Chain A
Amino acid sequence: MNIVVLIKQVPDTWSARTLADSDHTLDRASADVVLDEINERAVEEALKIKEADGGEVTVVTMGPQRAADAVRKALSMGADKAVHLSDEGLHGSCAVQTAKALATVIGTLGDVDLIIAGNEATDGTVGAIAAMVADVLGLPDLTHARKVTVEGRTVTVERETDDAITVLRADLPAVISVNEKINEPRYPSFKGIMAAKKKPVATLSLADAGIERIAVGLATATSTVIESTPRPPRLAGQVVTDEGDGAAKLAEYLIGQKLI
Chain B
Amino acid sequence: MLSEEHAALRATVEEFARKEVAPVIADLYEHDTFPYALVAKMGAMGLFGLPFPEEYGGMGGDYFALCLALEELARVDSSVAITLEDSVSLGAMPIFRYGTGEQKQRWLPELCTGQRLGAFGLTEPGGGSDAGATRTTARCEGDEWVINGSKAFITNSGTDVTSVVTVTAITGVSGGRKEISTIMVPAGHPGFTVSANYSKVGWRCSDTRGLFFDDCRVPLSNLLGERGRGYAQFLAILDEGRIAIAALGVGLAQGCIDECVSYAQQRHAFGHAIGSYQAIQFKIADMETRAHAARLTYYHAAERMLRGEPFKKEAAIAKLVSSNAAMDNARDATQVFGGYGFMNEYPVARFYRDAKVLEIGEGTSEVQRILIARHLGVG
| Interface residues in chain A, defined as those with a beta carbon under 8 Å from any beta carbon in chain B | 72-73, 76, 186-194, 196-197
Write out the residue numbers on chain A whose beta carbons fall within 8 Å of the beta carbon of B45. Answer: 186-189
4 further contact pairs, Cβ within 8 A, besides A73-B8, A191-B59: A188-B45, A193-B8, A193-B12, A194-B60
CB within 8 Å of A: which residues of B? 4-5, 8-9, 12, 15-16, 41, 44-46, 50, 54, 59-61, 65
Are B16 and A187 in contact (CB-based, < 8 A)?
yes
Q: Are A197 and B4 in contact (CB under 8 A)?
A: yes
A186 touching B44 in the complex, CB below 8 Å, given contacts A76-B8, A191-B59, A194-B60: yes
B44, closest chain A residue (CB) = A186
Main DSSP-derived SS at the A contact region: helix
Our pick among B5, B16, B46, B54 for the contact of A197 (Cβ within 8 Å) is: B5
Whether the Cβ atoms of B61 and A190 lie closer than 8 Å is: yes
Shortest beta-carbon distance from A198 to chain B in Å: 11
**Complex Cα gap A191–B57 (Å):** 10
If over half of B's interface residues share one DSSP class (helix, strand or loop), that class is named, otherwise mixed; here it is helix
Q: How far is the CB of A199 from chain B (nearest CB, A)?
A: 13
In the bound complex, residues from chain B placing their C-beta under 8 Å from that of A187 are 12, 15-16, 41, 44-45
Per the bound structure, the CA–CA distance linking A193 and B12 in Å amounts to 10
**How far is B113's CA from A189's CA once the two chains are assembled, in angstroms?**
11
Chain A residues within an 8 Å CB radius of B60: 190-191, 194
C-alpha spacing A192/B44, complex, angstroms: 12
Chain A residue nearest to B8 (CB atoms) is A193
B8 adjacent to A72 (CB under 8 Å): yes
Most buried by B among A76, A190, A191, A196: A190
* B59 surroundings in chain A (CB, below 8 A): 189-191
Q: Chain B CB within 10 Å — which of A76, A189, A192 has the most?
A: A189
- Rank and list the top 4 A-B pairs by shortest CB-CB distance, nearest first: A189-B46, A190-B59, A187-B45, A190-B61
Q: Which residues of B contact A191 (CB under 8 A)?
A: 46, 54, 59-61
Q: How far is the CB of A236 from chain B (nearest CB, A)?
A: 15
> Is B4 in contact with A190, judged by CB distance below 8 angstroms?
no
Q: How far is the CB of A32 from chain B (nearest CB, A)?
A: 11
B65-A190 in contact (CB<8A): yes
Q: Which residues of B lie under 8 Å from residue A194 when comparing CB positions?
A: 5, 60-61
Residue on A with the closest CB to B69?
Answer: A190
Taking a contact as CB atoms under 8 Å apart, the answer to whether A193 and B16 are in contact is: no
* Shortest CB distance A66–B (Å): 14
Other-chain contact of B9, A186, A193, A197 (Cβ < 8 Å): A193
In the complex, residue of chain A having the shortest beta-carbon distance to the beta carbon of B50: A190
* A192 (CB) vs chain B CBs: closest residue: B46
Residues of B within 8 A of A192 (CB): 46
Q: Which residue of A lies closest to B62 (CB)?
A: A190
A188 to B59, CA, bound (A): 11
Residues in A with CB closer than 8 Å to B44 are 186-187
Expressed in whole angstroms, the Cα–Cα distance for A194 and B54 within the complex equals 12
Q: Complex Cα distance A220/B286, Å?
A: 54
Closest partner residue, chain A, to B60 (CB atom): A191
Interfacial chain A residues near B65, Cβ < 8 Å:
190
CB-defined A-B contacts under 8 Å, sample of 15? A73-B8, A186-B44, A187-B41, A187-B45, A188-B8, A188-B45, A189-B45, A189-B59, A190-B46, A190-B59, A190-B61, A191-B59, A194-B5, A194-B60, A196-B8
User: Which of B5, B15, B16: most chain A CB closer than 10 A?
Assistant: B5
* CA A76 to CA B8, docked complex, whole Å: 9
Least Cβ distance of A28 to chain B in Å? Answer: 19
Instruction: Give bound CA distance, A186 to B15, whole Å.
Output: 12
Give min CB distance, A92 to chain B, whole Å: 29
- Which residues on A sit within 8 Å (CB–CB) of B16? 187
On chain B, the residues within 8 Å of A72 by CB distance are 8
A186 to B9, CA, bound (A): 14
Task: Tell me how far the C-beta of B306 lies from the nearest C-beta in chain A, rounded to whole angstroms.
Answer: 15
Which of the residues A73, A186, A190 comes within 8 Å of B5, measured between beta carbons?
A: A190
| Bound CA span A72–B4, Å | 11
Provide the bound-state CA to CA distance between A192 and B60, in Å: 10
CA–CA, A125 to B333, complex, Å? 40
How distant is A241 from chain B, measured CB to nearest CB, in Å? 24
Complex interface: chain A residues within 8 A of B46 (CB):
189-192
Whether A193 lies near B54 (C-beta < 8 A) is no
Check B4–A188 contact: CB distance below 8 A: no
Q: How far is the CA of A193 from the CA of B60 in the complex (A)?
A: 11
Provide the bound-state CA to CA distance between A191 and B16, in Å: 16
Task: Give bound CA distance, A25 to B50, whole Å.
Answer: 42
**In the bound complex, CA of A197 to CA of B60 (Å):** 14
Set of chain B residues within 8 Å of A76, measured between Cβ atoms: 8, 12
CA A193 to CA B65, docked complex, whole Å: 12
Q: How far is the CA of A45 from the CA of B41 in the complex (A)?
A: 18
Residue on A with the closest CB to B16?
Answer: A187
| Chain A residue with Cβ nearest B15 | A187
CB distance B5 to A188 under 8 Å?
no
CB distance from B63 to the nearest CB of A (A): 12
Q: Which of A73, A186, A187, A191 has the most CB of B within 10 A?
A: A187
CA distance A30 to B143 in the complex (A): 68
